[in-house]
Amino acid sequence: MTLAELIPLLMKASVAAMVIAMGLQADRGELTWLLRQPGLLARSLVSMILIAPVLATGAALVFRLTHMAEVMLVALSLAPVPPLLPRKQKKAEGREAYALSLLVCAAVASIVSIPIWVEVVERVAGVPLRMTAAAVAKIVLVTVLAPLAVGALVRVLAPRFAAELARPLSTLALAALALGLLAVLAKAWPAIMAQVGDGTLLAIVAFVALSLAVGWALGGPEPSDRTVLALSTATRHPGVALAIVSANYPGEKGAAATLLLFLLVGGVVSGVWLAVRKRRAKG
């Protein structure tokens, strides 16, 4: 196995390990918390599943992106919550039960919403896309639902072991993921920089900023919930988005550069937004 083949496997294993670590620390009540909050659940799905794709499509049209950048941005807007986001939301003082349960609900909802949206995008915007419910289900099962279930099961069967394992497993997985990302970024950096001046960067900034605003507006009266929904609307699942693009445009390399640029820019914009929000809250 070559290094180029090993790095993606390492990153996938790292993500799975981090989600298992979340499950080791979560109880059933936290994972299903949002089901007992129907109003917040409805607003969350509207923000993430209905409004985000509209924002992405609008940004792609306004900034006249290349075809592949347009496809990737739209694919990202269709993807559910990324499995590592609850960790970030917890550090941002978001409600942990909301973050974890939204991860589960969004993953399950995406099995239905993504095939519907790709059909809508193809008919309305003329962007040819195909993605079956079975393909989406496989991704969310492997990256979200199964690792969470494994962690939660270990917590039930061996709570003391789960408590001792969670932190070192999460730390090791995060370190491995960071190394993998650095290797990928180093290789793709020229392609990423090539998209900075063609409108892609501005489109991503616009999409992330507007998504943060929409999520914050629909998050309800509790600031911690508004923070969770804002980040969840603006941060998307890269694995699902890449699977959508790969299924329709196999071998296309430009999409990966757009995806990496989105991860970088999205992280910076979200970080600045969080810093400003915290400063205003203290002031």
Give pTM, 2 decimals: 0.86
Burial class of 156 by CB neighbour count within 10 A (0 to 12, 13 to 18, 19+): exposed
Phi, psi of 249, deg, nearest 5: -135, 70
Lowest mean pLDDT among 30-39, 65-74, 104-113: 65-74
Angle CA(8)–CA(59)–CA(131) in degrees, nearest 5? 45
Report pLDDT for 205: 94
- Residue 283 falls within a domain, yes or no? no
How many structural domains are present in the chain?
1
130 or 219, higher pLDDT: 219
pLDDT tier for residue 67 given thresholds of 50, 70 and 90? confident
pLDDT tier for residue 127 given thresholds of 50, 70 and 90? low
- pLDDT tens across 233-274, in order? 998 888 888 888 888 887 776 778 888 888 888 889 998 998
Q: CATH number, domain at 190? A: 1.20.1530.20
- pLDDT tens across 141-164, in order? 888 888 888 988 999 889 899 888
- Residue 13 falls within a domain, yes or no? yes
pLDDT tier for residue 7 given thresholds of 50, 70 and 90? low
Angle CA(258)–CA(111)–CA(85) in degrees, nearest 5? 55
User: What residues make up the domain containing 145?
Assistant: 3-278
Report pLDDT for 4: 53
User: To the nearest whole percent, how much of the chain has pLDDT over 90?
Assistant: 19
- Residue 23 falls within a domain, yes or no? yes
Q: How many whole angstroms separate alpha carbon 73 and alpha carbon 143? A: 21
- Residue 172 falls within a domain, yes or no? yes
- Residue 197 falls within a domain, yes or no? yes
How much is the mean pLDDT over the chain?
84
Report pLDDT for 238: 83
Q: How many whole angstroms separate alpha carbon 82 and alpha carbon 182? A: 19
Q: Of 92, 36, 75, whose CA–CA distance to 212 is shortest?
A: 92
Phi, psi of 221, deg, nearest 5: -75, -20
Mean pLDDT of 53-65: 86
